[in-house]
Amino acid sequence: MTTNKKWFIALLFILLILATGCSSGIKQAKKSDQDITIFVASDIHYLAKELNDNGEAFQKYMSTSDGKLLHYIDEITDAFVKDVIQEKPEVLIISGDLTNNGEKESHLELAKKLASIEQSAGTKIYVIPGNHDILNPWARGFQGTEQYVTDMIGAEDFEKIYHDFGYSEAISRDKTSLSYLTAPSKDLWLLMLDTSIYDFNELIGSPMTNGEIDSETLLWMKECSEKAKKENARILTVMHHNLFDHSEILNKGFTLDNQEEALEVFKESGLNLVLSGHIHVQNIKSSEDDNPVYDIVTSSLGVNPVQYGVLEFEASKGFDYSTARVDVEGWAKETGVEDKNLINFTKYSKDYYSEASLHRAYESLSDVTGYTEEERNLMAETMSLLNSNYFAGTVDSIRNEVLASKGYQLWEAADPSLFTKNYILSMAEAGKSSQNTLTLR
């Protein structure tokens, strides 16, 4: 054998060893089969483009909104879809209020977008309804100067439309609601609870805001817990309504009507981590005892800062929760969008919500006497700053600045009967720590 051939064989042998070593390293770096990344979105309030011409009627509707970026919800949803496909989490959870007001066309369009995620990324998607999604008499489209009634859906329609996003994989179904149990892995199961009350919506002419878990569903939850224990699986609970009050002022209609009864079952069944939505505030609360139950509210995907939760589960350790913002700007650049609001979306969404909060503050002070124009401006600016950070779960980052401001001091000294005063004080009190992270071992 020639010297050149010997060197070639030796070099080939070394390359094979290096390649094997790299391959081994990659396998070690991969997540264990027991480890799962879960994306958590809530309150998308998707409105199909076909139902909105962005005309006078829609603009009027938007002027009375609570800061939702409904005029860009199609673009936000597409950007979120892109993020999920790019990151490829094992699971995506959407905890209710998938649509603006339960429009059939919105449900169908959103389901198509979700299907593209499963097809492109292999991510398993699990959804539950919120109070806006089923039998909603407010289902509307917008054309020119008029709103028009459009088709809504019933519970059977919801299950059919979202058949591939949880219901087809259920290992147990509740007989009295759209709740189901599913097992995305052998170590982690999902208890998806339908807490919305929609049977009387058509009778009263509006969607009921409040929610509950009825007695039969509570019994079924206990059965699910026993089933999981036998298989040595951990259960993560998902529902639209909140298990705890996430605001001292805004809780009626948001926290479960039968909260105390439900909490008792959660504790008995060892269900100690809940993901919820509904209130749109990024917030984490827990029961105050030696074996706490945690309730994480992920803020609305359609409200600044347009974020979702990221839950990392390791069977040997537990859960790590954090948040991430939808990369609307990256999506806009990639798709060649020329809308300046979308190109600079981080600033635009922040300014949009701040302006909506500012407007609300001025409205709350419109009938209050005894303040100069300068004082009203200072009070309104304080309200806007606090409210924007409250919904983002970041009051802790500006709390000291707010407490030292003249605007906050004016609110402190204001009439105790003013709702806005009490709301502002509660936001400041709730912001002593960040609401965007939780480690649960």
DSSP letters of 409-440? HHHHTS-TT-HHHHHHHHHHHHTTS-SS-EEE
From residue 158, alpha-carbon distances to 4, 47, 173, 278, 398 in Å are: 70, 16, 15, 18, 42
Q: 132-165: per-residue pLDDT in tens?
A: 999 999 999 999 999 999 999 999 999 999 999 9
Average pLDDT, the chain: 92
Can you tell me the distance from the alpha carbon of 176 to that of 408, in angstroms, rounded to the nearest whole number? 48
Q: What is the pLDDT of residue 63?
A: 85
- Distance of alpha carbon 243 from its chain centroid, rounded? 15
Q: What is the pLDDT of residue 13?
A: 35
Can you tell me the distance from the alpha carbon of 438 to that of 441, in angstroms, rounded to the nearest whole number? 10
Across the range 287-301, mean pLDDT stands at 95
Q: What is the pLDDT of residue 66?
A: 79
Across the range 258-264, mean pLDDT stands at 98
Can you tell me the distance from the alpha carbon of 57 to that of 141, in angstroms, rounded to the nearest whole number? 9
Coil, strand or helix at 40: strand
Q: What is the pLDDT of residue 366?
A: 87
**pLDDT reading at 29 higher than 50:** no
Pull the structure tokens for residue 243. 């298990």
Q: 307-336: per-residue pLDDT in tens?
A: 999 999 999 899 999 999 999 999 999 999
**pLDDT reading at 69 higher than 90:** yes
Coil, strand or helix at 95: strand
Beta bridge partners of 258: none
- Residue 273: what residue type? L
Nearest by Cα to 435 from 224, 213, 228, 284: 284
Q: What band does 15 get if pLDDT is binned at 50, 70 and 90?
A: very low
Top-level CATH class of 344-430?
A: mainly alpha
Q: 273-287: per-residue pLDDT in tens?
A: 999 999 999 999 999
Q: What band does 45 get if pLDDT is binned at 50, 70 and 90?
A: very high
Q: Which residue has the higher pLDDT, 412 or 19?
A: 412
Across the range 226-246, mean pLDDT stands at 97
Across the range 388-413, mean pLDDT stands at 96
Nearest by Cα to 161 from 211, 90, 94: 94
What's the CATH fold of domain 36-332?
Answer: Purple Acid Phosphatase; chain A, domain 2 (3.60.21)
Pull the structure tokens for residue 56. 């006078």
Q: What is the pLDDT of residue 441?
A: 87
Can you tell me the distance from the alpha carbon of 67 to that of 73, in angstroms, rounded to the nearest whole number? 12
Nearest by Cα to 435 from 244, 225, 188: 244
**pLDDT reading at 4 higher than 50:** no
pTM for this entry: 0.91
Q: What is the pLDDT of residue 33?
A: 58
- Residue 1: what residue type? M
Q: What band does 19 get if pLDDT is binned at 50, 70 and 90?
A: very low
Nearest by Cα to 42 from 263, 212, 242: 242
Can you tell me the distance from the alpha carbon of 420 to that of 426, in angstroms, rounded to the nearest whole number? 10
Can you tell me the distance from the alpha carbon of 158 to that of 180, in angstroms, rounded to the nearest whole number? 13
Q: 335-356: per-residue pLDDT in tens?
A: 999 999 999 999 999 999 999 9
Q: Where are the domains of the chain?
A: 36-332, 344-430
Across the range 92-96, mean pLDDT stands at 98
Can you tell me the distance from the alpha carbon of 325 to that of 19, in angstroms, rounded to the nearest whole number? 37
Coil, strand or helix at 225: helix
Coil, strand or helix at 284: strand
DSSP 170-216: EEEE-SSSS-EEE-SSSSEEEEEE--B--TTHHHHTS----B---HH
> What is the sign, positive or negative, of the torsion defined by CA atoms of 120, 125, 131, 133?
positive
Q: Which residue has the higher pLDDT, 242 or 8?
A: 242
Is the backbone of residue 285 left (phi > 0), alpha (psi -120 to 50) or beta?
beta
DSSP character at residue 152: B
Check: CB of residue 343 under 8 Å from CB of residue 333: yes
Across 289-402, the runs of DSSP E, i.e. the strands, are 294-297, 307-314, 318-325
**pLDDT reading at 54 higher than 70:** yes
Q: What is the pLDDT of residue 10?
A: 40
Q: What band does 108 get if pLDDT is binned at 50, 70 and 90?
A: very high
Q: Report the chain's terminal Cα–Cα distance, integer Å.
A: 62
Across 213-332, the runs of DSSP E, i.e. the strands, are 234-239, 273-276, 283-286, 294-297, 307-314, 318-325
